[in-house]
Amino acid sequence: MTQGLSHMTFIVSDLDMMEEMLVTVLDAKKTYDSGDNTFSLSEERFFDIGGIWVAAMKGEPLPTRTYNHVAFKMNAADYEEKLRRIRALGLEVKEGRSRVEGEGHSIYFYDFDNHMFELHSGTLEERLRRYQEPA
């Protein structure tokens, strides 16, 4: 039986740049740095982001950008501060899709290796409740 999310791994060209993005924007805490040791496929670092294990592993970046993304929860009150941090790092902010009131608010942005991230203020329950309301 699947018990939930174990971890996420992102292949990145520069571990320092990824660490700066994860710490600055997502308030990550670094829990491991392999340095020159490689127990896996390449150098790697582990982070804790709100109780989720996120791994960054050195390698070739994604060749293109898509809408595939991972979304992390944020408080709606943090929207402007998160947007400021993202822009201060020079990351590209992608215009979000149109939303109906009650879905929550999102910031979509790309890291330095074409991974898309989202910061979202809503919950699944709120979205489903809103979608059941008459249009």
Count of domains observed in the chain: 1
Task: Kindly state the DSSP code that residue 129 receives in the 8-state scheme.
Answer: H
95 inside domain: yes
Where in the sequence is the domain holding 106, given as residue range(s)?
A: 7-131
Strands 44-49 and 106-110: unpaired
Q: CATH number, domain at 122?
A: 3.10.180.10
1 inside domain: no
d(CA 127, CA 97): 15
2 inside domain: no
Is 81 catalytic? The answer is no
In 1-135, which ranges are continuous DSSP H helix? 15-26, 79-88, 124-131
C-beta separation of 110 from 91 below 8 A: yes
What is the pTM (predicted TM-score) of this model? 0.84
Q: What is residue 102's predicted lDDT score, i.e. its pLDDT?
A: 59
User: Helix (H, G, I), strand (E, B), or coil: what is residue 99?
Assistant: coil
Which residue has tokens 């939930």?
4
Q: What is residue 123's predicted lDDT score, i.e. its pLDDT?
A: 72
* Residue range 10-41, pLDDT digits in tens: 999 999 999 999 999 999 999 999 988 877 88
d(CA 27, CA 22): 6
Q: What is residue 38's predicted lDDT score, i.e. its pLDDT?
A: 78
Q: What is residue 51's predicted lDDT score, i.e. its pLDDT?
A: 93
d(CA 7, CA 49): 10
d(CA 79, CA 92): 16
Q: What is residue 106's predicted lDDT score, i.e. its pLDDT?
A: 87
Residues of the chain with pLDDT under 50: none
- From the candidates 20, 44, 80, 118, give the one annotated as an active-site residue: 44
Nearest-10 crossing angle of helices 15-26, 79-88: 160
53 inside domain: yes
Q: What is residue 62's predicted lDDT score, i.e. its pLDDT?
A: 92
d(CA 55, CA 28): 11
